[in-house]
Amino acid sequence: MNGSTSIPVISIDGPTASGKGTVAHRVAKQLGFHYLDSGALYRLTALSAIRHGIALEQEQAIADLARVLPCRFEKGHVFLAGDDVTDAVRQEAIGVAASKIAVLPLVRKALVELQVSFRQLPGLVADGRDMGTVIFPDAIQKVFLTASVEARANRRYKQLIEKGFPANMEDLVKDLAERDARDMARTEAPLKPAPGAFILDTSHITANEAVHQILSLYTDAVRSKK
């Protein structure tokens, strides 16, 4: 491998609220790697489209926005055009909107180059839905994090309540199930484990236990490359 492709990547894919964001962020911190929350890019694009009054069906207009998305990630905060939108992008309505625009081929194409640019030394931990299948198919370690719909809805419920947002368990279960179906059925980069990915069910384990397993897998993967 030459150039950026020699920079190690750990891809962590999975459905919404599977815990991949928390786990990926902790793995990156443990290794001193950069971190990419690809889902945030779709959420930022959706938020930007809504702020610009662009309908979610206007594929070309949203792709044009995505191509020059004025965003940055800094100390756990997410900024859009200078505004701190960390909480805004985590609202359920934005998550649903992000899932809808994620099926649009032109939008996905516009965001690919931006995602690839996060691959920098000493390494990258990338979380999303197609990190191991599409964006970083040569990742040294691929993980597919999953959990039952009920477990994921419960986690999301707690997150929303802690942040002061209204939440309803029944609605969350319904929304997550619908989003799963949409993400798995889309023609562009459907949600599925990458070839060779380690499937890790987090329904009954803690985030720290998941982190420990992934670090062990990465250590083994590095050793096998030598």
Pick out the residues of the known binding site for ATP.
14-22
Measured between alpha carbons, how far is residue 63 from residues 49, 181, 188, 194, 225 in Å? 10, 23, 15, 26, 38
- Point out which residues pair with 11 in neighbouring strands: 126, 142
Closest CA to 129 of 106, 150, 111, 151: 111
What is the end-to-end Cα distance of the chain in Å, rounded? 14
**44 neighbors 80 (Cβ within 8 angstroms):** yes
CA distance 204 to 58: 40
Residue ranges at the known binding site? 14-22
- Point out which residues pair with 36 in neighbouring strands: 126
